A = this chain, B = another copy of it.
Amino acid sequence: MSLISVQEAENIVLKHTIDFGVEQVPFAAALGRVLAAGIVTDRCLPPYNRVTMDGIAISFSAFQRGLRSFRIKAVMAAGDKPVATEQVDECIELMTGCALPATTDTVVRYEDLIIKDGFATITIDSIRQGANIHLRGSDIQQGATVVSANTIVDATVISMAASVGQTMLAVKRLPHIVIVSTGDELVDVDVSPTPFQIRRSNSYAIQAALRQYCIEAEMVHISDEPQVTKEKINECLNGYDVIILSGGVSMGRFDYVPQALEETGVEKLFHKVQQRPGKPFWFGKHSATASVVFAFPGNPVSAFLCLHRYLMPWLSTTLGKEVRPKIKAILMDDFTFLPQLQYFLQVHVRVDEESRLVAVPVEGNGSGDFTNLLAANAFMELPAEISNFKKGDQYMVWPFKPLM
Protein backbone atom coordinates (compact mmCIF):
# COMPACT_ATOMS: atom_id res chain seq x y z
CA MET A 1 0.00 0.00 0.00
CA SER A 2 1.32 3.39 -0.95
CA LEU A 3 1.86 5.84 1.89
CA ILE A 4 0.55 9.37 1.65
CA SER A 5 2.68 12.32 2.69
CA VAL A 6 2.26 14.22 5.94
CA GLN A 7 1.00 17.23 4.00
CA GLU A 8 -1.58 15.16 2.12
CA ALA A 9 -2.72 13.59 5.37
CA GLU A 10 -3.05 17.03 6.98
CA ASN A 11 -5.03 18.30 3.98
CA ILE A 12 -7.47 15.39 4.14
CA VAL A 13 -7.91 15.72 7.91
CA LEU A 14 -8.54 19.47 7.72
CA LYS A 15 -11.02 18.99 4.88
CA HIS A 16 -13.25 17.01 7.24
CA THR A 17 -14.01 19.57 9.91
CA ILE A 18 -17.49 19.70 11.41
CA ASP A 19 -19.63 22.59 12.60
CA PHE A 20 -20.83 21.76 16.11
CA GLY A 21 -22.90 24.91 16.48
CA VAL A 22 -23.03 27.52 19.20
CA GLU A 23 -24.00 27.65 22.86
CA GLN A 24 -24.32 30.40 25.46
CA VAL A 25 -22.21 30.18 28.62
CA PRO A 26 -21.77 32.56 31.57
CA PHE A 27 -18.87 34.83 30.65
CA ALA A 28 -16.62 33.92 33.57
CA ALA A 29 -17.00 30.21 32.74
CA ALA A 30 -16.03 30.73 29.09
CA LEU A 31 -12.28 30.74 29.74
CA GLY A 32 -10.50 28.75 27.04
CA ARG A 33 -13.55 28.54 24.77
CA VAL A 34 -13.75 30.02 21.26
CA LEU A 35 -16.09 32.98 20.71
CA ALA A 36 -18.86 32.36 18.20
CA ALA A 37 -19.81 36.03 18.02
CA GLY A 38 -17.93 39.26 18.59
CA ILE A 39 -18.23 41.26 21.79
CA VAL A 40 -19.83 44.63 21.15
CA THR A 41 -19.65 47.59 23.52
CA ASP A 42 -22.98 48.71 24.97
CA ARG A 43 -21.51 52.13 25.79
CA CYS A 44 -18.41 54.15 25.04
CA LEU A 45 -15.21 53.26 26.87
CA PRO A 46 -14.62 55.18 29.02
CA PRO A 47 -18.37 55.77 29.37
CA TYR A 48 -17.76 59.29 30.72
CA ASN A 49 -14.92 61.80 30.86
CA ARG A 50 -13.04 59.86 33.50
CA VAL A 51 -10.80 61.56 36.03
CA THR A 52 -7.43 59.76 36.18
CA MET A 53 -5.87 61.45 39.25
CA ASP A 54 -7.14 62.49 42.67
CA GLY A 55 -7.32 66.31 42.85
CA ILE A 56 -9.59 69.14 41.72
CA ALA A 57 -11.50 69.85 38.54
CA ILE A 58 -11.47 73.45 37.28
CA SER A 59 -12.16 75.40 34.16
CA PHE A 60 -8.88 75.93 32.32
CA SER A 61 -9.92 79.41 31.22
CA ALA A 62 -10.02 80.53 34.87
CA PHE A 63 -6.40 79.39 35.30
CA GLN A 64 -5.49 81.21 32.10
CA ARG A 65 -7.03 84.39 33.47
CA GLY A 66 -4.61 84.14 36.41
CA LEU A 67 -6.80 82.45 39.03
CA ARG A 68 -4.81 80.11 41.31
CA SER A 69 -7.04 79.69 44.35
CA PHE A 70 -10.39 77.93 44.01
CA ARG A 71 -13.18 77.47 46.52
CA ILE A 72 -14.03 73.78 46.90
CA LYS A 73 -17.74 73.65 46.10
CA ALA A 74 -18.10 69.91 46.64
CA VAL A 75 -16.19 66.70 47.11
CA MET A 76 -17.04 63.90 44.70
CA ALA A 77 -16.29 60.23 45.15
CA ALA A 78 -16.06 57.89 42.18
CA GLY A 79 -19.55 56.81 41.24
CA ASP A 80 -21.13 60.11 42.31
CA LYS A 81 -23.24 62.16 39.96
CA PRO A 82 -21.06 65.06 38.80
CA VAL A 83 -21.57 68.34 40.66
CA ALA A 84 -21.46 71.43 38.46
CA THR A 85 -19.46 74.52 39.41
CA GLU A 86 -21.36 77.79 39.14
CA GLN A 87 -18.60 80.36 39.47
CA VAL A 88 -15.25 80.42 37.63
CA ASP A 89 -13.36 80.48 40.96
CA GLU A 90 -15.01 77.30 42.14
CA CYS A 91 -13.62 73.81 41.86
CA ILE A 92 -14.78 70.29 42.63
CA GLU A 93 -12.50 68.06 44.63
CA LEU A 94 -12.73 64.61 43.08
CA MET A 95 -11.11 61.23 42.93
CA THR A 96 -9.71 58.90 40.32
CA GLY A 97 -12.58 57.24 38.50
CA CYS A 98 -15.01 60.16 38.90
CA ALA A 99 -17.08 61.47 36.02
CA LEU A 100 -15.83 64.98 35.24
CA PRO A 101 -18.41 67.76 35.82
CA ALA A 102 -19.43 69.31 32.48
CA THR A 103 -18.56 72.81 33.73
CA THR A 104 -14.90 71.86 34.13
CA ASP A 105 -12.32 70.65 31.66
CA THR A 106 -9.03 70.19 33.54
CA VAL A 107 -7.91 68.21 36.59
CA VAL A 108 -5.05 69.34 38.85
CA ARG A 109 -3.66 66.57 41.03
CA TYR A 110 -3.18 66.76 44.82
CA GLU A 111 0.61 66.79 44.37
CA ASP A 112 0.31 70.22 42.71
CA LEU A 113 -2.10 71.70 45.26
CA ILE A 114 -2.31 73.11 48.75
CA ILE A 115 -5.72 72.54 50.30
CA LYS A 116 -6.68 74.69 53.27
CA ASP A 117 -9.84 76.18 54.76
CA GLY A 118 -12.07 75.06 51.93
CA PHE A 119 -9.80 76.40 49.21
CA ALA A 120 -7.43 74.62 46.83
CA THR A 121 -4.42 76.60 45.65
CA ILE A 122 -2.41 75.52 42.62
CA THR A 123 1.33 75.52 43.32
CA ILE A 124 2.64 75.09 39.77
CA ASP A 125 2.95 77.68 37.04
CA SER A 126 1.69 75.78 34.11
CA ILE A 127 -1.03 73.25 33.63
CA ARG A 128 -2.34 71.64 30.48
CA GLN A 129 -5.95 72.07 29.41
CA GLY A 130 -7.66 68.68 29.60
CA ALA A 131 -4.97 67.23 31.88
CA ASN A 132 -5.68 64.02 33.86
CA ILE A 133 -8.86 63.20 32.01
CA HIS A 134 -9.49 60.04 30.04
CA LEU A 135 -12.02 61.29 27.49
CA ARG A 136 -15.34 59.55 26.96
CA GLY A 137 -15.12 57.13 24.05
CA SER A 138 -11.41 57.68 23.51
CA ASP A 139 -10.68 53.97 23.90
CA ILE A 140 -13.68 52.69 22.04
CA GLN A 141 -17.01 53.93 20.72
CA GLN A 142 -20.39 52.49 21.65
CA GLY A 143 -21.45 49.69 19.31
CA ALA A 144 -17.93 48.82 18.28
CA THR A 145 -16.77 45.22 18.14
CA VAL A 146 -14.00 45.02 20.75
CA VAL A 147 -13.37 41.32 20.44
CA SER A 148 -14.04 39.47 17.23
CA ALA A 149 -15.57 36.06 16.75
CA ASN A 150 -13.17 33.10 16.72
CA THR A 151 -11.05 34.60 19.49
CA ILE A 152 -10.07 32.30 22.33
CA VAL A 153 -11.53 33.58 25.59
CA ASP A 154 -8.67 34.54 27.90
CA ALA A 155 -8.42 36.84 30.92
CA THR A 156 -8.42 39.97 28.74
CA VAL A 157 -11.57 38.86 26.89
CA ILE A 158 -13.32 38.04 30.16
CA SER A 159 -12.41 41.47 31.47
CA MET A 160 -13.84 43.09 28.35
CA ALA A 161 -17.05 41.02 28.55
CA ALA A 162 -17.41 42.21 32.17
CA SER A 163 -16.80 45.85 31.17
CA VAL A 164 -19.55 45.83 28.58
CA GLY A 165 -21.96 43.82 30.74
CA GLN A 166 -22.09 40.78 28.54
CA THR A 167 -22.99 38.21 31.17
CA MET A 168 -23.41 35.40 28.64
CA LEU A 169 -21.04 34.67 25.78
CA ALA A 170 -21.82 32.79 22.57
CA VAL A 171 -19.10 30.18 22.15
CA LYS A 172 -18.49 27.31 19.78
CA ARG A 173 -20.03 24.09 21.01
CA LEU A 174 -17.44 21.39 21.68
CA PRO A 175 -17.47 17.95 20.08
CA HIS A 176 -18.20 14.86 22.16
CA ILE A 177 -15.06 12.79 22.02
CA VAL A 178 -14.41 9.22 23.09
CA ILE A 179 -10.93 7.77 23.46
CA VAL A 180 -10.86 4.07 22.72
CA SER A 181 -7.98 1.89 23.80
CA THR A 182 -7.54 -1.61 22.40
CA GLY A 183 -5.26 -4.50 23.18
CA ASP A 184 -5.54 -7.30 25.72
CA GLU A 185 -2.09 -6.49 27.08
CA LEU A 186 -3.47 -3.29 28.61
CA VAL A 187 -4.80 -3.15 32.15
CA ASP A 188 -6.27 -0.20 33.97
CA VAL A 189 -4.03 2.01 36.08
CA ASP A 190 -5.29 0.70 39.42
CA VAL A 191 -4.84 -2.95 38.44
CA SER A 192 -1.65 -4.94 39.01
CA PRO A 193 -0.40 -6.03 35.61
CA THR A 194 0.97 -9.53 35.01
CA PRO A 195 4.61 -9.60 33.83
CA PHE A 196 3.27 -9.63 30.24
CA GLN A 197 0.89 -6.72 30.55
CA ILE A 198 1.27 -2.96 30.71
CA ARG A 199 -0.96 -0.26 32.08
CA ARG A 200 -3.24 1.83 29.92
CA SER A 201 -1.61 5.27 29.58
CA ASN A 202 -2.35 6.60 26.09
CA SER A 203 -5.97 7.35 26.83
CA TYR A 204 -5.02 9.44 29.84
CA ALA A 205 -2.39 11.39 27.91
CA ILE A 206 -4.89 12.15 25.15
CA GLN A 207 -7.60 13.06 27.64
CA ALA A 208 -5.24 15.45 29.43
CA ALA A 209 -4.12 17.09 26.18
CA LEU A 210 -7.72 17.67 25.11
CA ARG A 211 -8.45 19.61 28.29
CA GLN A 212 -6.63 22.60 26.81
CA TYR A 213 -9.69 22.86 24.55
CA CYS A 214 -11.99 22.49 27.58
CA ILE A 215 -12.95 19.07 26.25
CA GLU A 216 -13.59 16.34 28.80
CA ALA A 217 -13.29 13.23 26.64
CA GLU A 218 -14.66 9.91 27.79
CA MET A 219 -12.75 6.63 27.68
CA VAL A 220 -13.65 3.13 26.55
CA HIS A 221 -11.50 0.00 26.42
CA ILE A 222 -12.16 -2.70 23.84
CA SER A 223 -10.79 -6.20 24.25
CA ASP A 224 -9.27 -8.01 21.27
CA GLU A 225 -12.38 -9.76 20.01
CA PRO A 226 -13.75 -9.01 16.55
CA GLN A 227 -17.43 -9.03 17.53
CA VAL A 228 -16.88 -6.89 20.63
CA THR A 229 -14.71 -4.49 18.65
CA LYS A 230 -17.44 -4.02 16.06
CA GLU A 231 -20.23 -3.56 18.60
CA LYS A 232 -18.31 -1.06 20.68
CA ILE A 233 -17.22 0.95 17.67
CA ASN A 234 -20.81 1.06 16.53
CA GLU A 235 -21.90 2.37 19.93
CA CYS A 236 -19.18 5.02 19.81
CA LEU A 237 -20.21 6.13 16.32
CA ASN A 238 -23.73 6.69 17.58
CA GLY A 239 -22.72 8.40 20.81
CA TYR A 240 -19.79 10.63 19.85
CA ASP A 241 -18.70 13.11 17.22
CA VAL A 242 -15.08 12.08 17.32
CA ILE A 243 -13.58 8.67 18.02
CA ILE A 244 -9.92 8.50 18.87
CA LEU A 245 -8.57 4.98 18.80
CA SER A 246 -5.15 3.99 19.96
CA GLY A 247 -3.80 0.62 18.94
CA GLY A 248 -5.16 -2.11 16.75
CA VAL A 249 -4.38 -0.50 13.41
CA SER A 250 -1.23 -2.44 12.45
CA MET A 251 -0.95 -5.66 10.48
CA GLY A 252 -1.38 -7.96 13.47
CA ARG A 253 -3.76 -10.87 13.53
CA PHE A 254 -5.64 -9.35 16.44
CA ASP A 255 -5.86 -5.88 14.97
CA TYR A 256 -9.60 -6.00 14.47
CA VAL A 257 -10.04 -2.26 14.28
CA PRO A 258 -9.69 -1.61 10.52
CA GLN A 259 -12.14 -4.41 9.75
CA ALA A 260 -14.59 -3.28 12.43
CA LEU A 261 -14.44 0.27 11.09
CA GLU A 262 -15.15 -0.98 7.60
CA GLU A 263 -18.02 -3.20 8.72
CA THR A 264 -19.65 -0.38 10.67
CA GLY A 265 -19.57 1.79 7.56
CA VAL A 266 -16.70 4.12 8.35
CA GLU A 267 -15.14 5.29 5.11
CA LYS A 268 -11.37 5.03 5.13
CA LEU A 269 -9.88 8.33 3.96
CA PHE A 270 -6.32 7.17 4.41
CA HIS A 271 -4.30 4.51 6.19
CA LYS A 272 -0.55 4.91 6.71
CA VAL A 273 1.37 8.11 6.43
CA GLN A 274 4.95 8.63 5.27
CA GLN A 275 6.16 9.49 8.76
CA ARG A 276 7.95 8.20 11.82
CA PRO A 277 6.60 7.79 14.40
CA GLY A 278 2.95 7.20 13.59
CA LYS A 279 3.13 5.47 10.22
CA PRO A 280 0.02 3.27 10.70
CA PHE A 281 -2.28 6.27 11.39
CA TRP A 282 -5.77 5.59 9.97
CA PHE A 283 -8.34 8.32 9.36
CA GLY A 284 -11.95 7.99 8.29
CA LYS A 285 -15.45 9.36 8.34
CA HIS A 286 -18.82 7.78 9.05
CA SER A 287 -21.43 9.28 6.73
CA ALA A 288 -24.48 8.04 8.62
CA THR A 289 -23.54 9.71 11.92
CA ALA A 290 -21.07 12.33 10.55
CA SER A 291 -18.51 11.13 13.10
CA VAL A 292 -14.83 11.22 12.29
CA VAL A 293 -12.42 8.52 13.37
CA PHE A 294 -8.76 9.09 14.21
CA ALA A 295 -7.16 5.68 14.67
CA PHE A 296 -3.67 6.16 16.05
CA PRO A 297 -1.00 3.50 16.51
CA GLY A 298 -0.90 2.07 20.03
CA ASN A 299 2.68 3.09 20.61
CA PRO A 300 2.54 5.99 23.10
CA VAL A 301 4.91 8.33 21.26
CA SER A 302 3.23 7.59 17.92
CA ALA A 303 -0.20 8.31 19.37
CA PHE A 304 1.07 11.51 21.01
CA LEU A 305 2.60 12.74 17.75
CA CYS A 306 -0.53 12.01 15.71
CA LEU A 307 -2.61 13.77 18.36
CA HIS A 308 -0.57 16.98 18.10
CA ARG A 309 0.15 16.89 14.38
CA TYR A 310 -3.36 16.03 13.15
CA LEU A 311 -6.08 16.02 15.77
CA MET A 312 -5.20 19.29 17.52
CA PRO A 313 -5.07 21.25 14.23
CA TRP A 314 -8.34 19.55 13.24
CA LEU A 315 -9.92 20.76 16.50
CA SER A 316 -8.56 24.29 16.01
CA THR A 317 -9.92 24.43 12.50
CA THR A 318 -13.23 22.87 13.49
CA LEU A 319 -13.72 25.38 16.29
CA GLY A 320 -12.67 28.19 13.98
CA LYS A 321 -9.92 29.35 16.33
CA GLU A 322 -7.70 32.03 14.95
CA VAL A 323 -5.02 30.04 13.21
CA ARG A 324 -1.60 30.54 14.75
CA PRO A 325 1.09 30.70 12.10
CA LYS A 326 3.32 27.64 12.01
CA ILE A 327 6.60 28.40 13.71
CA LYS A 328 10.10 27.32 12.94
CA ALA A 329 12.97 26.80 15.37
CA ILE A 330 16.69 26.46 14.78
CA LEU A 331 18.07 22.92 15.03
CA MET A 332 21.03 22.93 17.44
CA ASP A 333 22.68 19.62 16.45
CA ASP A 334 23.41 17.83 13.23
CA PHE A 335 20.97 14.99 12.74
CA THR A 336 20.76 12.22 10.16
CA PHE A 337 17.67 10.24 9.25
CA LEU A 338 17.86 8.10 6.13
CA PRO A 339 14.41 6.52 5.57
CA GLN A 340 12.07 8.24 3.11
CA LEU A 341 9.79 9.29 5.92
CA GLN A 342 8.99 12.64 7.52
CA TYR A 343 10.74 12.33 10.86
CA PHE A 344 9.37 13.97 13.98
CA LEU A 345 12.33 14.62 16.19
CA GLN A 346 11.70 15.11 19.90
CA VAL A 347 13.25 18.42 20.85
CA HIS A 348 13.49 20.85 23.70
CA VAL A 349 12.75 24.34 22.40
CA ARG A 350 13.83 27.45 24.29
CA VAL A 351 14.63 31.10 23.65
CA ASP A 352 18.40 31.72 23.59
CA GLU A 353 20.36 34.82 24.58
CA GLU A 354 19.84 36.29 21.12
CA SER A 355 16.05 35.86 21.36
CA ARG A 356 16.17 33.01 18.87
CA LEU A 357 13.97 29.95 19.17
CA VAL A 358 16.42 27.05 19.33
CA ALA A 359 15.66 23.33 19.40
CA VAL A 360 17.94 20.79 21.07
CA PRO A 361 17.22 17.14 20.16
CA VAL A 362 16.12 14.95 23.08
CA GLU A 363 16.63 11.51 21.67
CA GLY A 364 15.85 8.22 23.37
CA ASN A 365 15.25 4.68 22.23
CA GLY A 366 12.95 5.34 19.33
CA SER A 367 9.23 5.75 19.13
CA GLY A 368 8.43 3.53 22.08
CA ASP A 369 10.22 5.62 24.63
CA PHE A 370 7.67 7.87 26.18
CA THR A 371 9.98 8.88 29.06
CA ASN A 372 11.74 11.04 26.50
CA LEU A 373 8.70 13.22 26.07
CA LEU A 374 9.03 14.31 29.68
CA ALA A 375 12.22 16.19 28.80
CA ALA A 376 11.09 17.37 25.36
CA ASN A 377 8.47 20.05 24.72
CA ALA A 378 7.94 19.83 20.97
CA PHE A 379 8.29 17.68 17.88
CA MET A 380 10.45 19.09 15.10
CA GLU A 381 9.19 18.08 11.66
CA LEU A 382 12.07 17.02 9.41
CA PRO A 383 11.19 16.76 5.71
CA ALA A 384 11.21 13.27 4.16
CA GLU A 385 13.24 14.36 1.13
CA ILE A 386 16.25 15.40 3.24
CA SER A 387 18.53 12.96 5.06
CA ASN A 388 21.14 15.18 6.66
CA PHE A 389 19.86 17.95 8.86
CA LYS A 390 22.45 20.52 9.83
CA LYS A 391 22.90 22.52 12.98
CA GLY A 392 21.57 26.00 12.23
CA ASP A 393 18.83 24.84 9.85
CA GLN A 394 15.26 25.95 10.59
CA TYR A 395 12.38 23.50 10.73
CA MET A 396 8.78 23.60 11.83
CA VAL A 397 8.02 22.70 15.44
CA TRP A 398 4.87 21.30 17.03
CA PRO A 399 4.87 22.24 20.73
CA PHE A 400 3.07 19.93 23.15
CA LYS A 401 3.92 21.97 26.25
CA PRO A 402 4.03 25.74 26.76
CA LEU A 403 7.41 26.82 25.39
CA MET A 404 7.78 29.79 27.74
Contacts and interface: CB of A to CB of B under 8 A. Distances in A.
16 contacts: A48-B195, A52-B299, A77-B185, A78-B185, A78-B254, A79-B186, A96-B250, A96-B299, A97-B298, A99-B195, A138-B369, A139-B370, A159-B370, A327-B404, A329-B355, A330-B355
B159 A204 contact: yes
A45 to B, nearest CB: 7
A116 interface: no
Interface of A: 27-28, 31, 45-48, 50, 52-54, 75, 77-82, 93, 95-99, 110-111, 134, 138-140, 146-147, 151, 154-167, 183-186, 189-190, 192-202, 204-209, 211, 224, 247, 250-255, 298-300, 304, 324-325, 327-330, 350-351, 353-358, 364-366, 368-374, 394, 399-404
Contacts of A330: 355
A25 to B, nearest CB: 13
Contacts of A27: 189, 204
A211 B96 contact: no
A404 B403 contact: yes
A351 B370 contact: no
Contact of A189 (B162, B209, B252, B328): B162
Contact of A205 (B79, B159, B370): B159
B156 A75 contact: no
Contact of A77 (B99, B154, B184, B299): B184
A151 B75 CA distance: 53
B251 A159 contact: no
B81 A183 contact: no
B201 A45 contact: no
A54 B250 contact: yes
Given A139-B369, A156-B374, A196-B82, A97 B402 contact: no
Contact of A47 (B111, B134, B198, B202): B198
Given A47-B195, A156-B370, A31 B403 contact: no
A109 to B, nearest CB: 8
